[in-house]
């Protein structure tokens, strides 16, 4: 047993050397027009060897290490305590959510412009994740092309503003409804599909939309994207230094304050915040309605759900449509925030990140999804110091997370139905 362990450990160490030495141990340097290969500094070589030794030691004594890990205190500090009562828990969650919203209201006035900008992005991801949560978390339909609906929302606003000069507030419902229509359209062909097959078709759909946007140059500008998307206005007040559209006034002149670029950023943030709260509330409402229970029943057992008279078509289409609607919402805000969009923003990686947020947060749980959206968007920013290793750190964090808490940060606690029976 021990000998086998050592042999395995030695093999792992050698693999580590083979992989890391050519990558880290040699440098390509450009000298004039030719490229020369030079050895790296001694410290790097030592680091590589140390890493190989570390791998050897870990693999050789892996069993004792995992044993130690098991003895570590549970990550959840509340694990030992008595589980809270259902009603109390629900109340606590509402309080936490309210607290987050109140905190978020004052947030932009105390931090830097960059942080507010980032926070707006977080809010957009929260909207997206809440929407995808309906499809994946509640209805159990694995959608890998969710970004397509986000793109539909963003491009609807961009194109309409370019060709008809529509304002943000008009585009918001149109973008969301159009995205919902696309959700409905995607829903029909995938009605009979489940699991892997559904994932593949939705993945394809996401790519079709992106490639269409990329290649329909006459309409969408192709890879050049669309610029000059207007910012939202507040009752006809613009946030720029000078008024762009006739009939509008500017915000700083109306209120007699000095112009500041921050007003616009904060305003956008507040819009995103309000929309994110609306999204959360509407979806919360849906979860308590019969349609929410129908989604869950379908996720749990499709045949049983159908045997009770639930229509597979209606349940699946409603999940897809509602999920897509909020992606369209988020897309419109995104287009307005960036002022410029191109197909680059709607690649598969975006779908994957939104899905990661939903899974990390705990499928179906709103608070969990919100916390996960904050973590997933901010973590790579915080790790910026590590430059090229930051995605590595991000990936490692995800892997660890899935090992320790596969059910997600805050797994969904179902809202139990209680009937008051007359005794």
Partner 1 sequence: MSMLVLEDVHTHYGKIEALHGVSVEVNRGEIVSLIGANGAGKTTLLMTVCGTPQASSGRIILEGRDITREPTARIMRSGLAIVPEGRRIFSGLTVEENLHMGGFFNTKSEIRKSLDHVYELFPRLQEREHQRAGTMSGGEQQMLAIGRALMSRPSMIILDEPSLGLAPLVIKQIFEIISHLRDEGITVFLVEQNAHQALNLADRGYVLETGKIRLHDTGKNLLANPDVQNAYLGG
Rounded to a whole number of angstroms, the minimum distance from the CB of residue 420 to partner 1 is: 8
Q: Which stretch in 121-129, 286-294, 379-387, 393-401 sits in contact with partner 1 by CB under 8 A?
A: 286-294
Does residue 82 belong to the site contacting partner 1 (CB under 8 A)? no
Q: Which stretch in 68-76, 100-108, 142-150, 311-319 sits in contact with partner 1 by CB under 8 A?
A: 311-319
Does residue 301 belong to the site contacting partner 1 (CB under 8 A)? yes
Q: Which residues contact 113 (CB under 8 A, 6 or more apart)?
A: 261, 262, 265
Please pick, from the candidates 309, 349, 384, 388, the single residue that binds partner 1 as defined by CB under 8 A: 309
Does residue 32 belong to the site contacting partner 1 (CB under 8 A)? no
How many Å apart are CA 284 and CA 358, to the nearest integer? 15
- CA distances 406 to 74, 89, 223, 225, Å, are 14, 21, 38, 39
* Site map (CB under 8 A) of partner 1, residues 239-278, x = contact: ----------------------------------------
Does residue 62 belong to the site contacting partner 1 (CB under 8 A)? no
Please pick, from the candidates 4, 31, 384, 418, the single residue that binds partner 1 as defined by CB under 8 A: 418
Does residue 290 belong to the site contacting partner 1 (CB under 8 A)? yes
Does residue 305 belong to the site contacting partner 1 (CB under 8 A)? yes
Nearest Cα residue to 239 out of 324, 337, 312: 337
Q: Among residues 103 and 417, whose Cβ is nearest to partner 1? A: 417
Please pick, from the candidates 272, 294, 324, 372, the single residue that binds partner 1 as defined by CB under 8 A: 294
Does residue 421 belong to the site contacting partner 1 (CB under 8 A)? yes
Does residue 300 belong to the site contacting partner 1 (CB under 8 A)? yes
Does residue 42 belong to the site contacting partner 1 (CB under 8 A)? no
Q: Which stretch in 5-13, 261-269, 312-320, 375-383 sits in contact with partner 1 by CB under 8 A?
A: 312-320
Rounded to a whole number of angstroms, the minimum distance from the CB of residue 406 to partner 1 is: 16
Please pick, from the candidates 62, 113, 306, 413, the single residue that binds partner 1 as defined by CB under 8 A: 306
How many Å apart are CA 111 and CA 32, to the nearest integer? 47
Does residue 310 belong to the site contacting partner 1 (CB under 8 A)? yes
Q: Among residues 2 and 303, whose Cβ is nearest to partner 1? A: 303
Rounded to a whole number of angstroms, the minimum distance from the CB of residue 301 to partner 1 is: 5
Q: Which stretch in 3-11, 48-56, 178-186, 411-419 sits in contact with partner 1 by CB under 8 A?
A: 411-419
Rounded to a whole number of angstroms, the minimum distance from the CB of residue 288 to partner 1 is: 13
Q: Among residues 257 and 314, whose Cβ is nearest to partner 1? A: 314
Please pick, from the candidates 84, 304, 391, 392, the single residue that binds partner 1 as defined by CB under 8 A: 304
Which residues here bind partner 1, judged by CB under 8 A? Answer: 290, 293-294, 296-297, 300-301, 303-314, 414, 416-419, 421-422
């Amino acid at each position: 047993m021990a000998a086998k362990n050592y042999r395995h450990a030695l093999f792992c160490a050698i693999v580590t050397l083979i992989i890391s030495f050519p990558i880290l141990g040699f440098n390509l340097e450009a000298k004039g027009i030719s490229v020369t290969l030079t050895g790296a500094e001694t410290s790097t070589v030592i680091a590589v060897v140390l890493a190989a030794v570390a791998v050897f030691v870990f693999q050789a004594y892996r069993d004792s290490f995992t044993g130690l890990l098991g003895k570590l205190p549970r990550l959840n500090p509340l694990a030992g305590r008595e589980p809270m009562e259902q009603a109390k828990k629900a109340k606590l969650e509402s309080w936490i959510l309210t607290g987050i919203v109140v905190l978020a209201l004052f947030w932009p006035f105390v931090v830097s412009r960059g942080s507010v900008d980032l926070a707006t992005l977080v809010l957009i991801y929260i909207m997206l994740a809440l929407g995808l949560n309906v499809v994946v978390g509640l209805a159990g339909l694995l959608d890998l092309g969710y970004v397509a609906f986000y793109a539909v929302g963003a491009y609807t606003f961009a194109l309409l503003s370019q060709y008809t000069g529509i304002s943000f507030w008009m585009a918001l419902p149109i973008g969301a409804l159009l995205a919902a229509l696309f959700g409905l359209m995607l829903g029909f062909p995938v009605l009979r599909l489940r699991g892997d097959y559904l994932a593949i078709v939705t993945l394809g759909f996401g790519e079709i939309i992106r490639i269409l946007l990329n290649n329909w140059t006459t309409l969408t500008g192709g890879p050049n994207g669309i610029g000059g998307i207007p910012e939202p206005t507040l009752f006809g007040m613009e946030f720029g230094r000078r008024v762009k559209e006739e009939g509008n006034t500017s915000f700083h002149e109306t209120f007699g304050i000095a112009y500041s670029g921050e007003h616009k950023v904060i305003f956008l943030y507040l819009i995103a915040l309000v929309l994110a709260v609306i999204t959360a509330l509407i979806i919360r409402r849906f979860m308590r309605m019969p349609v929410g229970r129908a989604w869950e029943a379908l996720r749990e057992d499709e045949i049983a759900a159908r045997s009770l008279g639930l229509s597979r078509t209606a349940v699946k289409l409603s999940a897809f449509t509602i999920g897509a609607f909020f992606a369209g919402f988020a897309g419109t805000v995104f287009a307005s925030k960036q002022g410029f969009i191109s197909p680059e923003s709607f690649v598969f990686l975006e779908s994957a990140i939104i899905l990661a947020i939903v899974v990390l947060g705990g499928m179906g749980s709103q608070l969990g999804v919100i916390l996960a959206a904050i973590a997933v968007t901010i973590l790579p920013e915080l790790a910026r110091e590590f430059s090229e290793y930051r995605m590595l750190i991000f990936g490692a964090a995800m892997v660890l997370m899935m090992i320790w808490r596969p059910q997600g940060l805050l797994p969904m606690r179902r809202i139990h139905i209680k009937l008051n029976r007359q005794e």
